[in-house]
Amino acid sequence: MDSTLKRTWAEIDLDALAHNYQVLQGRMGSGSRFLGVVKADAYGHGAVEVSRTLENLGAGYLAVSNLDEALELRHGGIGLPVLQLGVTPADQTALALSCRVAQAVWSESAAQAFSAEARKAGRKLKVHIKLDTGMSRLGFPCGEDGFERSLDAICRVCALPGLEAEGVFTHFAVSDEDSEAGRAYTELQYRRFAGMLDALARRGVRFAIRHCANSGAAVSYPQYACDMFRPGIISYGIGHQADLLGLRPVMTLKTIIGAVRELPPDTAVSYGCTYRTNRPSRVGVLPIGYADGLHRVLSNRWQVWTPHGAAPIIGRICMDMCMCDLTDLPGAAEGSEVEVYGPHNSVNAAAALAGTISYELTCAVSKRVPRIYYRDGEEIGRELLLRGQSSL
């Protein structure tokens, strides 16, 4: 590795991604296509490289959360169909058509606007109808209240010129919660989904691709596989359910012990003097801080994993650095690589300590942290998102 990178970097293990893909595809069955959720730069893992790997493995679709992310995939040479899950302003329809994106449609007025723009462009925009079965986010309401109105509206939407209704989908709110209430709610959401599909079929409206299963459903409700499933977090081998299926974390966030300090007892460490040594201490200075994505709330809580064992983070995490206690790890020396998150030091545990979810921690790994991709155990590429340095 170049010396400039010997600061903080994220190793992306594409073999782990392939392993996770095979496990999940096997679990959901060959009748269900794998849609790789690669929004937010593939949850911080690098959208183009992750997508290329999934494409080669045989995934059927990708999903992003805005058109710029879709464009990034096309510029990166990704040919798979892409579904744009989020809101797109209708005046972006021509762009959606030019980068061959299927757009989620969440209301009749949105559908009408897309239809008008697609007709202007003289093309047909592929759309996936979004059903709201209990998230109360985007979608046609499918609870008792809105059911009939939504049914009529979806029939009209599917008849609009300029649109090709390829798919229909919904999203679960608590499929990853293993409680009785969570199960009941997920089952209710699925009943609403299936109920709307049945009612639409009775009106002659059918879809080529029906999909509902996110990561939680892939783990706990493989019977909801439908035509396609949409695993996000779990395909990256993290989240509290990943261990249940023997999945492997794809990202290892690493830094080095940049300097080692010998500090006498009762010495304050870092901003705010929130930590004081209680013995003669060896303190490691790590070139990683909250600007790299290591949340400051983990100050005095998280640990880094050294080849000699775990070293607690002491004192406040600064923008670009933080400190760790190496007193009990005499072998840990300047220059040693340490794991901030990864197979030995689970990001799930860090997320729990930070009062959040692993999603937020990998998404937070910032653009100044190079991603280094490994396949068959060999480094195959590096990427740095700082302007003007996109490939290394």
Ligand X SMILES: *Cc1c(COP(=O)(O)O)cnc(C)c1O
Nearest-CB residue for ligand X: 232
Q: Which of the residues are catalytic?
A: 39, 271
Over the window 35 to 74, marking each residue x when it contacts ligand X by CB under 6 A and - when it does not, the resulting string is --x-------------------------------------
- Decide if 18 contacts 53 (C-beta within 8 A): yes
In 3D space, the residue among 322, 255, 252, 366 whose CA is nearest the CA of residue 7 turns out to be 255
Tell me which residues in 21-40 interact with ligand X (CB under 6 A): 37
* Closer residue to ligand X, CB minimum distance, 37 or 318: 37
Rounded CA separation 345/353 (Å): 13
Q: Which of these ranges, 24-32, 142-150, 227-235, 364-372, lies near ligand X under the rule CB under 6 A?
A: 227-235
Q: Which of 36, 60, 231, 342 binds ligand X (CB under 6 A)?
A: 231
CB of 10 to ligand X, least distance (A): 18
Provide the minimum distance between the beta carbon of 253 and ligand X in the complex, in angstroms, as a whole number.
Answer: 19
Query: Which residues, including other chains, have CB under 8 Å from residue 154's CB and lie 6 or more apart?
Result: 129, 140, 196, 200, 205
Smallest distance, Å, CB 39 to ligand X? 6
Three-class secondary structure assignment of 67-123: HHHHHHHHHCCCCCCEEECCCCCHHHHHHHHHCCEEEEECCHHHHHHHHHHHHHHCC
Q: Is 214 an interacting residue with respect to ligand X (CB under 6 A)?
A: yes
Q: Contacting ligand X (CB under 6 A), which of 33, 52, 171, 371?
A: 171
Of the candidate spans 53-61, 228-236, 273-281, 282-290, the one that interacts with ligand X by CB under 6 A turns out to be: 228-236
Using CB under 6 A, which of the segments 188-196, 230-238, 319-327, 345-353 binds ligand X?
230-238
Nearest distance from C-beta of residue 319 to ligand X, angstroms: 29
**Minimum distance from residue 73 beta carbon to ligand X (Å):** 16
How, if at all, do strands 101-105 and 82-84 pair? parallel
Rounded distance between C-alpha atoms, residue 189 and residue 133, angstroms: 5
> How far, in Å, CA of 47 to CA of 64, rounded?
9
Q: Return the range that interacts with ligand X (CB under 6 A); candidates 225-233, 314-322, 336-344, 379-387.
A: 225-233
Give phi and psi for 297, each to the nearest 5. -65, -15
Contact with ligand X (CB under 6 A) among 78, 163, 219, 233: 233
Between CA 51 and CA 38 the distance in angstroms is 7
Q: Is 85 in the site for ligand X (CB under 6 A)?
A: yes
361 binds ligand X (CB under 6 A): no
Residues 245-264 that bind ligand X (CB under 6 A): none
Q: What is the DSSP string of 6-58?
A: SSEEEEEEHHHHHHHHHHHHHHH-TTSEEEEE-HHHHHTT-HHHHHHHHHHHT
Binding site for ligand X (CB under 6 A): 37, 85, 171, 214-215, 230-234
